Amino acid sequence: MNPVLTPPKPVLLVALGGNALIRKGQKGTIDEQFANLRVPMRQIAQLTASFRIIITHGNGPQVGNLMLQQECCSDVPRLPLEILVAQTQGQIGYMIESTLDSELMALGIVTQKCLVSLISYVVVDPQDPAFADPSKPVGPVYPEELVPSLPFPVKKTPKGYRRVVASPKPLTIVEQKEIRHLIAMDFVVICCGGGGIPVIREGRGFCGVDAVIDKDLASAKLARQVGVDIFCIATDVPGVNLDYGTPGQRLLTRLSVDDAQQFLAQGQFPPGSMGPKVEAAIEFVRATGKRAAIGPIEDIAGTVAGTQGTQLTL
């Protein structure tokens, strides 16, 4: 008699926003970050029973803090941005992995689950138009009188004058093959932190560049390349809203990608917040025909199940 083969579990990618570690109004201490992580990690631990899981995450506050620390000690050579991104991938990967490990242990399944954090490169196009017009603010606020002497582009933001870098589109995830192998073995994979380390090809190798990649767009690219079945973006709002911040604000629980594209073109979703999330979800759904969801970090399980957040489909 031939044995009955159990179909492999579907693959779920959870993209955690920056609020997974640091909430509004917090200083961002390590104790705060670990405490904040317990909420999403407890849910992800439970979801491992039904899904093979990939976790991606933001790193904006952590990179910003490293840049501030560099400003405070001019005797120590400054590190380029891609190195700071790599540092935070290791830092946050460790925090996610150790917190998830504790939650799996609480469920009694720690011995059945393997976890791994990957330092991830993401290839970008050196001819991407974003390099001609850097627009992503990073690091500290500078006094206006210092601006002419700074060795990098600076723009005035609501907080003051800040350094700006390019935010090019992700082309491919360098470690996609390794990630596919790991999820096939039911590893929980933590990768593409902060959108990945931006690199350009130089012959057969890679060279890091001063840029940042949007975490949600990189996550959508990864989801397409490794065969994800559900793409979930966990954020600090209940889902995708129309007329956000106005008396007419309303949550969209179901949204077709065609309608989402139209609302995006109308300016309903700002580029610095919900815009890239909706754009990433549209890209994934159109390329795969599968479902994307955007919902609250407090209820990732409900967002995945389709009872919370906004569900985006063809």
For the record, the structure tokens of 200 come out as 């350009």
| Residues carrying an active site annotation | 18-19, 136, 215, 277
For the record, the structure tokens of 139 come out as 């690091």
| Rounded Cα–Cα distance for residues 20 and 46 (Å) | 17
| Rounded Cα–Cα distance for residues 266 and 163 (Å) | 29
> Quick one: which of 294, 288, 298, 289 has its CA closest to 306?
294
The number of CA neighbours under 13 Å toward the Cβ of 13 is 31
Strands (E) located in 169-290: 172-173, 187-190, 197-202, 205-208, 230-235, 240-242, 250-252, 254-256
Helix axes 257-265, 274-288, angle to 10 degrees: 150
The number of CA neighbours under 13 Å toward the Cβ of 240 is 31
